[in-house]
Amino acid sequence: MATLRAGVIGYGFGGRVFHAPLLEAAGFEVTAIQTTNPERVAAVKEEFPNAKIVETTQELIDLGLDLIVVSSQNSAHKSQAIAALRAHIPTVVDKPFAINYADTKEILDIANEEKTPITVFFNRRFDSDTLTIKKAMSDGSIGKVFRMEGRFERWAPMTSPDAWRESLKKEEGGGKLLDLQPHLLSAVTELFGPAELKFSAVQSIRAYSDDDSVLMVQHASGVDSYLSACEAMGAPGPRIRVTGDKGSLIIQDLDPQEGFIKQGVRPVNGKWEVDTRSKAHLHRGSEVTEYESVPGNYVDFYFQVKACIEGKGEMPVSQSDILMIAKIIDDAYEKSIHK
CATH architecture designation of domain 5-121+303-312: 3-Layer(aba) Sandwich (3.40)
Give the residue from 98, 102, 152, 99 showing the smallest Cα distance to 129.
152
The sign one gets for the Cα dihedral 93, 331, 338, 222 is negative
Distance of CA 67 to the CA centre of its chain: 18
Domains 5-121+303-312 and 125-296 share a fold: no
In terms of phi and psi (left: phi > 0; alpha: psi -120 to 50; beta: otherwise), the region of 224 is beta
pLDDT at 9: 98
Q: Does the pLDDT at position 168 exceed 80?
A: no
DSSP string, 251-282: E-S--THHHHHHTT---BTTB-SS--PPPEEE
pLDDT at 161: 59
The pLDDT tens digits for 108-163 are 999 999 999 999 999 999 999 999 999 999 999 999 999 999 999 999 877 665 67
Domain residue ranges in the chain:
5-121+303-312, 125-296
The pLDDT tens digits for 31-86 are 999 999 999 999 999 999 999 999 999 999 999 999 999 999 999 999 999 999 99
Q: Is 38 exposed, middle or buried (0-12, 13-18, 19+ CB in 10 A)?
A: exposed
Range 210-224 average pLDDT: 97
Range 93-117 average pLDDT: 98
Topology annotation, domain 125-296: Dihydrodipicolinate Reductase; domain 2 (3.30.360)
H-assigned helices in the chain:
13, 20-25, 38-47, 57-61, 77-86, 101-114, 128-138, 164-167, 176-192, 257-262, 299-309, 319-335
The sign one gets for the Cα dihedral 171, 177, 183, 187 is negative
Say how far apart CA 207 and CA 212 lie, in whole Å: 11
pLDDT at 164: 63
No. of helices (H) and no. of strands (E), the chain: 12, 14
Q: Does the pLDDT at position 24 exceed 70?
A: yes
Q: Does the pLDDT at position 221 exceed 80?
A: yes
- Residue 16 near residue 43, CB atoms below 8 Å: yes
Range 268-281 average pLDDT: 96
pLDDT at 16: 95
Mean residue pLDDT across the chain: 95
pLDDT at 18: 96
Range 203-209 average pLDDT: 87
> Sheet of 52-54: strands edge to edge?
52-54, 29-34, 5-9, 67-70, 91-94, 118-121
pLDDT at 224: 98
Query: Terminus-to-terminus CA distance in the chain, angstroms?
Result: 54
